[in-house]
Amino acid sequence: MANTKVAIIAANGSLFDAYKVFNVATAAAASDAEVGIFFTFEGLNLIHKEAHKNLPLPEGKEHFEEGFKQANVPSIEELVGIAQELNIKIIACQMTMDVMNLEKEAFIDGIEVGGAASFIEYAKDANITLSF
Amino acid sequence: MNIQVDEILDAKGLACPMPIVKTKKAMTNLEAGQVIEVQATDKGSTTDMKAWAESTGHQYLGTVEEAGVLTHYLRKASDAETKQETKHEDVEQLLDLQSKIEAGENLTILDVREPAEFAFGHIPNAINIPLGDLEERMKELDKDNELHVICRTGNRSDLAAQKLTEKGFPNVKNVIPGMSTWEGPTDKNN
C-alpha cells in the first residue's frame, strides 16, 4: 500500500467517533499508506490537548465503558501518539476554530491549520476517502 | 511446532489496531529475510496479519493457535525478491518436478527457505538448508546427486544454485517459480 493515499474527515466528537477515526487511520498508516485527517466541528475534540483524553460516550451508551476496559483497547491518547509517530497528517479546520474561539495552542503538537480547500487539495488524488 | 525466529513480539492482550501497529514497528528493525513471531490474543489478528502482509509486501507464513494465543509468523521481504533476475541457467519448471515426483523418481530436493517457512509446508523428504547457512552446510549434500533447488519464488533458489555450481556441484537445477505455486502434496513441521 505504499502508493495508497487515505483522506479522512472527522466531524464528530464522541469516544466512538474517535476510535473509528484513529483505528482506521493508524491501521492504514501502519500498512504504509499516506494518511491525512481533516478535523472539523465536534471532530476538533479528538485532537484538543485536554478534551481528547476524556471524550464522552454517546448519550445512552455509557454502559459500554466497561466493555472498553475489558477489551483492553488502547486509549485515545495512545492512538493520537501513534498517529503522530506514523506521520499522519492532521489538519484542523480554521473556520471551526474561529467559531469556537480556539487557538492552535489548544491542540496537540504537529498539526496544520487549514480551510476546506486545504483538505480538498490533499484529498483530490486519494484512493480512499472516509467520513466519520 | 518448534520454529526458529529472529525476533519475538509480545502483543498479547492488545486490541485492534495495536497488534498491526506494533508489528509494523518491529518489522522496521529487522533485516530483509528475517522472520518475526507475533504473539496475540486479538481474535481478528489472523485476518489482519494476512491483509497487512498483502498491503506491505511482507510474507505471511502462518499462524499457530495454542491455549487462546495466536502466534503469527511473518518474514520481512527484500527489494531484490520482488525483482526477477535469474542467472542460474539450468532451470526446471515446477510442474516438471511434480511429474517426476509423482512418477516415483528418487530426487534430492533442497529447500533453501527459512526454517519457519519450511515448517508451514514443504515437499515431502525435501532437505532444508536456508540460503544464509548454505555455505557452511554444503558438505551435508552429496555432489553425485542431481540437486533440485527450490524456495518460495525462485530467487533465493537461484542464488543457491549459483553458489552450489560455483563450489563444484555438477548438476544443479533451479526450480521455478517455487513453493508459492506448488500444488502437490506437502508435509508440515520438520
- Helix crossing, B18-28 with A15-30: angle to 10°? 30
* Cell 535469474 sits on residue: B86
Q: Is B21 within 8 Å of A1 when comparing Cβ atoms?
A: no
Length of chain A: 132
> Does residue B190 lie within any of the structural domains?
no
Which of B53, B79, B105 represents a domain boundary (last residue)?
A: B79
Out of B35, B61, B79, pick the residue that ends a domain.
B79
Mean pLDDT by 10 residues, chain A (132 residues): 90 96 96 95 96 92 88 92 94 92 94 89 93 96
pLDDT (0 to 100) of residue B2: 78
For residue B170, give how far its alpha carbon lies from the nearest alpha carbon of chain A (Å): 43
On whether residue B189 sits in a domain, the answer given is: no
CB pair distance less than 8 Å for A31 and B55: yes
* Chosen from A6, A72, A78, A127 to mutate, greatest number of chain B CBs within 10 A: A72
A23: nearest CB among B14, B16, B23:
B16
In this structure, is residue B53 part of a structural domain? yes
State whether B99 and B119 are in the same domain.
Answer: yes
Q: Which domain holds residue B50?
A: 7-79
Residues in B closer than 8 angstroms to A19, CB to CB, are none
Write the Ramachandran bin of B116: left for phi over 0, alpha for psi from -120 to 50, otherwise beta.
Answer: alpha
Alpha helices for chain A (secondary structure H): 15-30, 65-70, 76-85, 94-99, 116-123
Is B186 within a domain?
no
Note the pLDDT of residue B41.
Answer: 93
Whether B150 maps to a domain, the answer reads yes
Asked if residue B176 is part of any domain, the answer here is yes
List chain B pLDDT tens, one digit each, 190 residues: 678 999 999 999 998 889 999 999 999 999 999 999 999 999 889 988 988 898 888 999 999 999 999 999 999 987 666 444 558 889 999 999 999 999 999 899 999 999 999 999 999 999 999 998 998 999 999 999 999 999 999 989 998 999 999 899 999 999 999 999 999 999 987 5
CATH classification of the domain holding B160 = 3.40.250.10
In this prediction, residue B26 carries a pLDDT of 95
B140-B136-B82 Cα angle (round to 5) = 105
Question: Which residues, in sequence order, are CB contacts of B107 under 8 Å at separation 6+?
Answer: B97, B100, B101, B146, B148
Q: What is the pLDDT of residue B108?
A: 95
Chain A positions touching B24 (Cβ under 8 A) are: 30-31, 86
Quote the pLDDT of residue B86.
58
- Number of domain units in chain B: 2
Question: What integer pLDDT is reported at residue B1 of this predicted model?
Answer: 66
Q: Name the β-bridge partners of B7.
A: B36
| Judgement on whether residues B13 and B72 belong to the same structural domain of the protein | yes
Contact B76, B33 (CB under 8 A): yes
Interface check B73 vs A, CB under 8 A: no
CATH code for the domain of B48: 3.30.110.40
How many A-B residue pairs are in contact by the CB < 8 A criterion?
Answer: 41
pLDDT of residue B43: 86
In a shared domain, residues B149 and B99: yes
Cβ of B54: how many Cβ atoms within 10 Å?
13
Q: Classify residue B106: in a domain, yes or no.
A: yes
Please check whether residue B108 lies inside any domain of the structure.
yes
Q: What's the pLDDT score for residue B65?
A: 93
CATH number of A5-131: 3.40.1260.10
Mark whether B50 and B129 lie in a shared domain.
no
**Final residue before a domain boundary, out of B46, B79, B112:** B79
